[in-house]
A and B are shown apart, each in its own frame.
Chain A
């Protein structure tokens, strides 16, 4: 059975790049797109995916707010950030909130595999 993913980013272009990179990394997943954290939360509530890949900095609901909202609502959906900022502070904040990984932009198919493969194993 195919893995389902919600890709959340306010940039349509970046969502396309994330989706393309997933394919290039060998992940032939079922993708749903969300343009901010609120849309992503609604998408998870409608049908819980196997994983959420989310930008951090988005209008309406940021990625970290999305993660905390999901956990507060009882969803333990595996969650990873794909964000333009990869400082140690942000990585620590992401981990403390329950994120499995943080992929910093710019990324490559190899950097996707490096963090996603261990999580899927």
Chain B
């Protein structure tokens, strides 16, 4: 297995499909980010680990207000409805979970998928290298999808926080 198993366009296609089906209803809402990357105010990070012959991590990062809007979209709530922190983390974690699950399906010898985790920053993954970095624009706001590759079975975190 090589670190090149995960192709940039495949990751983008997965993210687009996930957003189209779960959030937007069409494929055109998640585009490559054009220009300088802005600082993300109040970042929210969701990630899911893959364990096995190809071990690594799928990470999604966006700003808090964007994560709130994503939660509203997933729950079918009006734009001005309050979103609890629990629902925000649940929704964003589930998006990372589906992205990670679809990423796993690309791998020739998939292992297991951990449970999604959400925080304000992603913990360091020892010895891992970032193999894909996709700054994307969702409705004009920054959402980053990263894929990290680690040595096989080198991950120590196996579970999520829910």
Contacts and interface: CB of A to CB of B under 8 A. Distances in A.
17 contacts: A10-B115, A11-B97, A16-B76, A57-B113, A57-B115, A59-B115, A59-B162, A84-B101, A85-B104, A85-B105, A86-B105, A87-B110, A89-B110, A105-B21, A105-B102, A106-B98, A107-B21
A54 interface: no
Contacts of A77: none
9 residue pairs, one from A and one from B, having the closest CB atoms: A84-B101, A106-B21, A85-B101, A84-B98, A13-B91, A13-B90, A105-B98, A11-B94, A87-B105
B61 interface: no
A69 interface: no
- Chief secondary structure at chain B's binding surface: helix
Given A13-B90, A85-B113, A86-B101, 20 more contacts: A12-B87, A13-B75, A13-B87, A16-B76, A17-B22, A17-B74, A57-B115, A59-B115, A59-B160, A83-B101, A84-B97, A84-B98, A84-B101, A84-B102, A85-B101, A85-B104, A86-B105, A104-B102, A105-B18, A105-B98
B94 A13 contact: yes
Interface of A: 10-14, 16-17, 20, 57, 59, 83-87, 89, 104-108
Interface string B39-60: 0000000000000000000000
Interface residues of B, number: 27
Contacts, number: 70
B105 A10 contact: no
Nearest to B76: A20
Contacts of B93: 11
Contacts of A106: 17-18, 20-22, 98, 102
